[in-house]
Amino acid sequence: MLRFIVFLAAALLVSQAQATEAGWALLRDGGHVVLLRHANAPGTGDPANFDIEKCATQRNLSERGRQQARRIGALFAARAAPVEKVLTSNYCRCLDTARLAFGDRLVEQSEALDFMRGDEEGNAGKAAALKQLILDYTDAANLVLVVNEDVVQQLLGASIREAEAIIVNRSSDALHVAGRIRFN
């Protein structure tokens, strides 16, 4: 039984590594949209006194998360994955991930990525606008969107781990997962 469990674990690791390599191959070609979930920020949700303008009221990156973010940027550079622009949510964990990974030059804050708890109507409107932005993207380099999990869930119906990237496949009017890259 133990051998079977070890075999399954090894097969899963190989499968994840192959998926990550396939994701990098897509990004080297450019022209893709990447949904990147922020790096490690311990806990779930935000405190009751949450204020998007005040980092002290939010879940923030841990030291591990800051290291992950720097590693993400180093891997994008080492893997020659061209990045045109990085749009980030105003949540501090997303903004810090974007800045640590890609530097201030490429990073722009976007309220369209700020899905708010309890604002289903507003979030649905933001999701529709994001979907159109992704469908219309035609630049030669990649566009990275640094987001919280709920954005990915609403756009793709997919789950995403912290410090994971999903490369989006765009068809005429739909978005799908084309590949994944795990950084942790």
Q: Supply the pLDDT for residue 1.
A: 59
Q: Supply the pLDDT for residue 56.
A: 92
Q: pLDDT higher for 117 or 178?
A: 178
Per the structure block, which two tokens stand in for 58?
A: 């939010």
The domain defined by 2-182 folds into Rossmann fold (3.40.50)
Q: pLDDT tens-digit profile of 9-25? A: 433 333 444 457 888 99
Residue ranges covered by each domain of the chain: 2-182
pTM of the predicted model as reported, rounded to 2 decimal places: 0.88
Torsion of CA 18, 23, 28, 34, to 10 degrees: -160
Q: Supply the pLDDT for residue 11.
A: 38
DSSP, residue by residue, 100-115: HHH-TTTEEE-GGG--
53-70 burial: b if 16+ Cβ within 10 Å, else e: eeeeebbbbbeebbbbbe
Determine the Cα–Cα distance for residues 148 and 144; give it in Å rounded to an integer. 13
Q: pLDDT tens-digit profile of 102-149? A: 999 999 999 999 998 888 999 999 999 999 999 999 999 999 999 999
Q: Supply the pLDDT for residue 14.
A: 38
